[in-house]
């Protein structure tokens, strides 16, 4: 049986645990919480337009996202 996304047996990070996150172009489209985060204890997913200015703030939790120019 395949593991469900966001279950405790996965190696995910807690959502809304930091105030600032650095994201790369491979993380686009950017959403908060991000796909690698647990979602069971977080707010609804919202997509953030970080491409325009290189920065975005989540309207739910206030987390700041900053784009790095790393080409990964």
| Euclidean distance between CA atoms 14 and 34, whole angstroms | 10
| Euclidean distance between CA atoms 63 and 10, whole angstroms | 23
Query: Which pair of tokens denotes residue 39?
Result: 């979602």
Report H helices in 1-72: 50-53
Q: Give the residue, 41 or 1, on which the prediction is more confident.
A: 41
| Euclidean distance between CA atoms 45 and 72, whole angstroms | 24
Cis check: omega of the bond before 29, within 30 degrees of 0: yes
Percent of the chain with pLDDT over 90: 42
Which band of pLDDT confidence, cut at 50, 70 and 90, is reported for residue 42? confident
């Amino acid at each position: 049986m395949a593991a469900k996304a966001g279950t405790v047996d996965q190696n995910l990070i807690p959502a809304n645990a930091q105030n600032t996150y650095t994201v790369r172009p491979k993380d686009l489209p950017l959403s908060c919480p991000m796909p690698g985060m647990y979602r069971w204890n977080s707010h609804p997913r919202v997509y953030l337009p970080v491409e325009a200015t290189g920065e975005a703030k989540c309207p739910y939790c206030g987390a700041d996202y900053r784009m790095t120019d790393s080409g990964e």
